[in-house]
């Protein structure tokens, strides 16, 4: 039969062992909770960003090739101050479109820094970051106004806001959780 001192010593050793082993899973659980909370914040911001971009791009089309033909006599028409009949006053694109310009005129024309020789065609890539016009020689103003819209949400367009907003939001959530935890 154990003595009272022996039982007390066994209880204190058992309690000390429990305290050590109970802390390790508790810390691991807290770390896992912190990681999950952080990833939840980043994922939530990514989902909101992707959803917003999808709503904004509703009806947007995929990138395609658009054709522009410079008609014969365009240089003469532009010198007189008129717009050649077959040349549009402006054009609309989505990111990734390719503008194919065919020169049917007898002189070299320029489009956005590219020379289009008589009887030849070139392809000009159109990017969302492009300006609001192409400089050109077949427009009386010397510029072809363009509108470039997004072709739809891309992974790159959603990841950057998720990192820029989600990471700070995750850090704030962890700080708030720690402060609230210390108030208990």
Top pLDDT among 30 and 3 is at: 30
Looking at beta carbons, which pairs linking 108-117 to residues 24 or more positions away fall under 8 Å? 109/70, 109/74, 109/75, 109/136, 109/137, 109/138, 110/135, 110/136, 110/137, 111/135, 111/136, 111/137, 111/138, 111/144, 112/136, 116/70
Domain residue limits, the chain:
21-57+154-183, 65-149
pLDDT average, residue stretch 2-18: 50
Query: For residue 169, what are the β-bridge partners?
Result: none
Indicate left, alpha or beta for 13 from its phi (over 0: left) and psi (-120 to 50: alpha): alpha
Q: Which CATH superfamily is domain 65-149 in?
A: Cupredoxins -  blue copper proteins (2.60.40.420)
Per-residue pLDDT tens over the stretch 65-102: 999 898 898 888 888 888 777 778 888 888 888 999 99
The continuous run of DSSP H or E covering 48 comes out as helix 4-56
In tens, the pLDDT along 95-135 reads: 888 999 999 999 999 888 889 999 999 998 888 765 577 88
pTM over 0.85: no
């Amino acid at each position: 039969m154990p003595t009272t001192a022996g039982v007390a010593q066994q209880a204190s050793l058992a309690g000390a062992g429990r305290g050590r082993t109970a802390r390790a899973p508790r810390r691991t659980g807290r770390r896992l909770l912190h990681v999950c909370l952080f990833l939840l914040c980043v994922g939530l911001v990514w989902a909101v960003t992707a959803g917003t971009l999808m709503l904004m791009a509703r009806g947007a089309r995929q990138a395609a090739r658009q054709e522009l033909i410079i008609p014969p006599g365009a240089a003469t028409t532009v010198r007189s101050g008129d717009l050649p009949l077959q040349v549009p006053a402006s054009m609309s694109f989505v990111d990734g479109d390719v503008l194919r310009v065919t020169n049917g005129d007898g002189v070299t024309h320029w489009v956005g820094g590219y020379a289009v020789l008589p009887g030849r065609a070139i392809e000009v890539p159109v990017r969302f970051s492009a300006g609001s016009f192409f400089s050109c020689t077949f427009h009386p103003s010397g510029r072809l106004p363009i509108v470039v819209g997004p072709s739809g949400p891309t992974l790159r367009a959603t990841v950057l806001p998720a990192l820029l907003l989600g990471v700070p939001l995750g850090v704030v959530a962890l700080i708030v959780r720690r402060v609230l935890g210390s108030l208990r």
